[in-house]
Structure 1
């Protein structure tokens, strides 16, 4: 069957199913369960109106339960079994995992990513947003800085592999080192500890454009009266920026920061494409990938740990976004 025909059938069935569900559910609610007849007519109408919103919410709640809640519960239950899934071992996978050096390294590296990438991306995005607003060609500069957002993580990793290449004829870093007098090439991806930061630079390069766009819009929303009043009172440009503008967009900064943090906790592609988790660059998602096809119980345990780490950040992000909307 043609993909176009399949798409049309899906749309017709989906839209028709929704219309049919809402029509029949309201019909049953008003005519069968709470009929507006007799002495209880008014009470039945009120009861039907109380139930009706849940009829509209039920499809969404059912989909969330099926595709979100059920997999979470299923993953947690699976993490309590051995690698073959036929023996209940309780929290054995968790205790073994936390005691393993590879997990500790991955957890520490993830901590470094969470500290460095959101801070660097947000700071650079804020700095670029402020500076480009003062340029006549600022929109062109913003487009160039935002462009990495259109590149996949794997594609960006391949680009930066050329930057980090230990061949001075290809790698920019080694070309600069040789120009300064170095005699031996250096593979920066094999430098223990520091290689993590070279990988983080890739994500900072990608996410700076995202932070710039959001923060630029926030900066433009600052009332001009406050800035003009500060200038009249004798504030210099640095004081205007850090003491007048930044406090007024702090809510937006926090939302950008936490959004990038959530993304960082789910990053896998960059590490896998650049080092495959070797040279002490393992992070939790890549550590989970190592066990995915040979120990399902351990892999689901790692996935559950990642979810627990992401959850508080996500809740905090939602709360701050709601505050911004008030």
Structure 2
């Protein structure tokens, strides 16, 4: 089947199925389950009103249970068995995993990513949002800075591979070193610091996201507070850090936690740049190492990643809800 025809059929079936479901479920609810009889008309209307929201929520709840809750429970159960899945070993996979140097390296690298990338991306996003709002061509600058968001992580990694290339004719870093008469180096093989060179890629991508959200928040600040600060003699730095930043603190936290959740799940950049070699392993890439040779431990790592992401996600949802009030 042609991909275009397949896409059209998918849209028609999906949209048509949704319309049919909501129309049919309402019809069954109003005509069969709670019919509008004269002797019990008002009571049936109230009952139908109480049930109707659950009819609308059912498709989402069903999909959530099928594609999230069931896999989570299944993964945890699978992590309690050996590779073949026929011998129950309890927490053996977790004990073995925590005792390995590779897991500790991946975990510490993930902590480093979670500390550096959200802070850097949020800082640069806030800085760019403030500076571009003062420029006539600020919208053009924002578009250019936001552009990396349209690039996949693998595509961005390939771009930065050229930047980090140890050939002075290709790599910018080694071109600068060659200009000053220094020998070329492969920055991706420098222990510890190579992690920061990988983080730069994600910061480059996520700065545009932070900029857009924080720019909207800055524009929502009442002008009266800024004008009052100017009248009181505040300089631009005081206006920014003591007037504007406190008023968008909630938005900053939401951006920070959103990027943190992304960081804890990132895999593509490390896999495309180093394959997890040279002590750049993080938990998702560490999980992939075991996926095809030790399924039990791979699911154990996946469950650990989920437990790490869950508190940050809950915090992010709560902060977003508080912003909407």
Whether TM exceeds 0.5 here: the answer is: yes
Partner of 2:215: 216
Per-residue deviation at 1:179? 2.4
Most deviating of 26-35 and 112-121: 26-35
Partner of 1:158: 158
Partner of 1:94: 94
Partner of 2:317: 318
Structure 2 matches for 1:110-121, cutoff 5 A?
110-121=110-121
Partner of 1:307: 306
Q: Distance in 2 between matches of 1:159 and 1:55?
A: 48
Q: Specify whether residues 167 and 312 from structure 1 end up closer, same or farther in structure 2 by C-alpha distance, changes over 3 A only.
A: same
Partner of 2:184: 185
Per-residue deviation at 1:161? 1.4
Structure 2 matches for 1:1-326, cutoff 5 A?
1-37=1-37, 39-182=39-182, 184-326=183-325
Q: Distance in 1 between matches of 2:233 and 2:190?
A: 49
Q: Specify whether residues 54 and 234 from structure 1 end up closer, same or farther in structure 2 by C-alpha distance, changes over 3 A only.
A: same
Per-residue deviation at 1:39? 4.8
In the alignment, structure 1 segments of 5+ residues that lack a partner are: none
Q: Distance in 2 between matches of 1:159 and 1:19?
A: 44
Q: Distance in 2 between matches of 1:65 and 1:18?
A: 18
Per-residue deviation at 1:41? 4.3
Q: Distance in 2 between matches of 1:103 and 1:186?
A: 28
Per-residue deviation at 1:5? 3.5
Most deviating of 27-36 and 141-150: 27-36
In the alignment, structure 2 segments of 5+ residues that lack a partner are: none
Q: Distance in 1 between matches of 2:18 and 2:171?
A: 56
Q: Distance in 2 between matches of 1:160 and 1:15?
A: 41
**Equivalent residue pairs, number:** 325
Per-residue deviation at 1:297? 1.0
Deviations 1:83-124 (A, max 9, x none): 111111111111111111100000000000000000001001
Q: Specify whether residues 140 and 70 from structure 1 end up closer, same or farther in structure 2 by C-alpha distance, changes over 3 A only.
A: same
TM-score, normalization by structure 1: 0.94
Per-residue deviation at 1:252? 0.9
Q: Specify whether residues 209 and 10 from structure 1 end up closer, same or farther in structure 2 by C-alpha distance, changes over 3 A only.
A: closer
Q: Distance in 2 between matches of 1:138 and 1:166?
A: 35
Deviations 1:138-167 (A, max 9, x none): 222222222221221111111211221222
Per-residue deviation at 1:40? 4.4
Per-residue deviation at 1:169? 2.4
Deviations 1:245-273 (A, max 9, x none): 00011111111111111111111111111
Q: Specify whether residues 37 and 249 from structure 1 end up closer, same or farther in structure 2 by C-alpha distance, changes over 3 A only.
A: same
Q: Distance in 1 between matches of 2:146 and 2:307?
A: 31
TM-score, normalization by structure 2: 0.95
Per-residue deviation at 1:38? 6.7
